[in-house]
A and B are shown apart, each in its own frame.
Chain A
Amino acid sequence: DVKVTQSSRYLVKRTGEKVFLECVQDMDHENMFWYRQDPGLGLRLIYFSYDVKMKEKGDIPEGYSVSREKKERFSLILESASTNQTSMYLCASSTSSGRNNQPQHFGDGTRLSIL
């Protein structure tokens, strides 16, 4: 079974802090994604990566950056946390091999509160 592990379930930080959210997958997947989930807005893509050291902006990248130094690990960075970044953050991974339309496998999320 694919396992996507997010390092923290709950995180509380202060405005202006630099925040790191970590995600690790154990299935050698090429693709990794960061979403934020907000009530009434669904899941919105922040950044994704289709290979080590490769990254692409998603739909809402402002205020975020990412790092993918190793295939299994994808980090989301809030450069200077703001209260409007309080949200649930979800990491996902998928493979590019095999048949088309491989599913994305999600972690259980990190609920981040910025005070």
Chain B
Amino acid sequence: QQQVKQSPQSLIVQKGGISIINCAYENTAFDYFPWYQQFPGKGPALLIAIRPDVSEKKEGRFTISFNKSAKQFSLHIMDSQPGDSATYFCAASKRYTGFQKLVFGTGTRLLVSP
């Protein structure tokens, strides 16, 4: 059973456009929601993360929007660039003896066309 549902599976956006990836979760014990970015041939790397006590977090062109009541969160990439083409994973976690044990979504492959 997928604890974190992610959509869409793939996304094509024109350069300069807005990319939006959505995730939903069921477990209300989750208290940390990161997004990871993975380029071909590389491991995932943390992009941005949010805790449920805020509704939005922005870092440069990347914004997480969080809706606690709906148990949904999304990643917005403003002014999308070809260099943003990668696979994006949302994740959720709850604290486990000193660290976060992550549950990942299924991933979204983003292609930003020039």
* A positions within 8 Å CB-CB of B: 4, 30-31, 35, 40-45, 48, 50, 59, 90, 92, 94-96, 100-109
Contact = CB atoms under 8 A, between A and B. Distances in A.
B99 A90 contact: no
A108 B42 CA distance: 4
Which one of B34, B43, B44, B51 has the highest number of Cβ atoms from chain A below 10 Å of its Cβ?
A: B43
Given A42-B107, A100-B100, 9 more contacts: A40-B9, A40-B106, A101-B100, A102-B100, A103-B34, A103-B49, A104-B46, A108-B41, A109-B43
Contacts of B98: 30-31, 50, 96
A98 B9 CA distance: 35
Interface string B14-49: 000000000000000000101000000111111001
B43 A106 contact: yes
Contacts of A108: 41-43
B101 interface: yes
A43 B44 contact: yes
Contact of A31 (B32, B46, B99, B104): B99
23 contacts: A30-B98, A30-B99, A31-B98, A35-B104, A40-B107, A42-B107, A43-B44, A50-B96, A50-B97, A50-B98, A59-B103, A90-B43, A90-B44, A94-B99, A96-B99, A100-B100, A102-B100, A103-B34, A104-B102, A106-B43, A106-B44, A107-B43, A108-B41
Interface of B: 6, 9, 32, 34, 41-46, 49, 51, 89, 95-107
A42 B104 contact: yes
Nearest to A31: B99
Contacts of A50: 96-99
